Amino acid sequence: MDCKTASELLPLYFDGELDRVSSRELEAHLDGCADCRDVLVGLDTLRTRLRDEASRHAAPELLRARIRKDLAARAATAATPTATFRMPRARWLALAASWVIMFAAGSVFVPAWNQAGAAGDARDQVARDVFAGHWRALAANSPYDVVSTDQHTVKPWFEGKIAVAPAVQDFAAQGFALAGGRIDYVGSARVPVLVYRHGHHVIDVFVLSQNDAPPQGKRIESQGYVMETVMLGSQPAAIVSDMGDVELARFVQLLGSAR
């Protein structure tokens, strides 16, 4: 690893956001490089100063009191059967719509997987991250970090940014044009995302590690978006978009048959 790569990875390492393999490689570099160690010490010094010396303002009692008052008032209203918290449905919808931008970024509803237990929870989290990543990308100015309709540009772009660059193929002739790629997060892992366009639909293909991957053929719906898992060459991948079922099935087949 050279100092340039190390300096890009250092903040991730420092913030506990770097995967284990890259962390080991970075540590090996740090063992032999005093300059990069200095950068790390600098980050740590700044953090220590911020945590020790910058003010973390505690909520004033006045604020807590106001909230408790609202809370009590609402509890009192709710107890009276004539004055419940109900609004006409349309009103709720309007309110929901007014917050849609925010929810696109943050909260996601994903139905539970069938599996119980920790493995199920972890996969739940994967689905949540994939939907959240997709929505965040849609809300951003551009859903990709590298714009290209050329598979020979997109693949090398990933190389050096992540451990395994995914297989990249364009399906413009079949109506699913490669539009670009980006790096997103699933859990704490940085994963490559291939972005395709089909008409006005944006399609994200999250290329996952074997461990993170939900079961093949699994289909999850959330707020009009669908996620489906396929094998992309030897790597599992999660497709997410708001396409219709027929189009999605075609795209799944295309991706699955690639190579």
Partner 1 sequence: MSSIIDQGFIDDMALRHLDAAYNLGRWLLGNEHEATDAVHDAYLRAVRAATTYAGGNERAWWLAIVRNCCLARLATRNKTKRDIAIDDAPATAERWLPRSEADDVENRIDSAQRQSLVNRHLQELPLNFREVLILREIEELSYREIADVLEMPIGTVMSRLARGRALLQKALAEHATSQVPHGL
Contact footprint for partner 1 (CB under 8 A): 11-12, 15-17, 42-43, 46-47, 49-51, 53-60, 62-64, 66-67, 70-71, 74, 78, 85, 92, 95-96, 99, 101-111, 128-129, 132, 136-137, 139-140, 145, 182-185, 188, 221-223
Q: Minimum CB separation from partner 1 for residue 234, in Å?
A: 26
How many helices (H) and strands (E) the chain has is answered by 9, 7
φ and ψ of 219, to 5 deg: -130, 130
Determine contact, residues 146/256, Cβ cutoff 8 Å. no
Q: Minimum CB separation from partner 1 for residue 38, in Å?
A: 12
Determine contact, residues 77/85, Cβ cutoff 8 Å. yes
Q: Minimum CB separation from partner 1 for residue 250, in Å?
A: 25
6's contact among Zn ion, partner 1, none, with CB below 5 to 8 A by partner kind, is Zn ion
Q: Minimum CB separation from partner 1 for residue 33, in Å?
A: 19
Q: Which residue has the tokens 């719906």?
A: 221
Strand partners, 162: 159
| Residue 190 to residues 12, 39, 165, 207, Cα–Cα distance (Å) | 11, 23, 12, 10
36's contact among partner 1, Zn ion, none, with CB below 5 to 8 A by partner kind, is Zn ion
φ and ψ of 230, to 5 deg: -140, 170
- Taking the least distance from each CB to partner 1, the nearer of 28 and 140 is 140
28's contact among partner 1, Zn ion, none, with CB below 5 to 8 A by partner kind, is none
